Amino acid sequence: MSSLSAATPKRARALCATCGNDDIDFLAADLSLIRNVDVLAAEVSKRWPRLHYLVLCAGIVRGQHTLTSEGIETNFAINYLSRFVLIERLLANRAVQGLEDQAARILVVSGAAQAGKIWYDDVNLTGRFGVLRAVSQFCEANDVFALELARRMTAAVLSQNVAVTVLKVGAVRTNIRRQFPAWMKLLVPLVIDPFLSQTPEQIAASARHLLLDPKFEGLSGALFRYIRQFKAQSPDLAPAIRLKAGAYGH
């Protein structure tokens, strides 16, 4: 059983037809609005009391500074805040939890930017918005949240046996480019695509690898990159990424 959200019904039907899997449910949600994310989390928890895999990959890159009707900068609302709220609600409802010998896996798909700055005093970037600054901020927020969630889940007395990893991807040839600023629409196809871009199928294959490969069982708090090839973010992470291996009996 699989479920989709955020996509339009037309795209969801097209995806189902392409993959040849009829056992897919579609839930529409405007992830720019946190009130809608709350409704989505409640519906998911109701339909599927236990999720084994959760992939967070909905996103935009909007070149103009816009706020949602709830007053949040749109890139930050969709690419980070909706993910934070959805995960927190599902965990609170215990809708995401693993088995005794097999962790549930949360995969956060984010941009390749690293070592960015989160403007805690003004995540809306009022008066200082730039698309690269916005991207850097939500990428860093995703990384920090995933690492902290992994630490928190490991330290929990009543563990739900949940592993969290991040897949950081570079330029991907999708419709996310429709709202690029003009300079990015010109630069990315000419300069980035010939050397560094990936197809959606390549990213999906890496995501499946992280979700289903037994060698990643028990791995949590790790960041992976796919720019030209799939690899761990840094070898320095290796000693810390199997935080719960003892609990899993490995």
Tens digit of pLDDT at every position of the chain (250 positions): 455 555 567 777 777 777 777 777 888 899 999 999 999 999 999 998 888 899 999 999 999 999 999 999 999 999 999 999 999 999 988 888 777 778 889 999 999 998 899 999 999 999 999 999 999 999 999 999 999 999 888 887 556 788 899 999 988 988 899 999 999 999 999 999 998 888 999 999 999 999 999 888 888 988 998 866 666 665 343 333 333 332 222 2
Q: How many CA atoms lie within 13 A of 53 on its CB side?
A: 14
CATH architecture type of domain 56-248? 3-Layer(aba) Sandwich (3.40)
pTM of the full structure: 0.85
Task: State the sign of the Cα–Cα–Cα–Cα dihedral 60, 169, 119, 38.
Answer: positive
* CA distance linking residue 177 with residue 122, whole number of Å: 26
Identity of residue 180: F
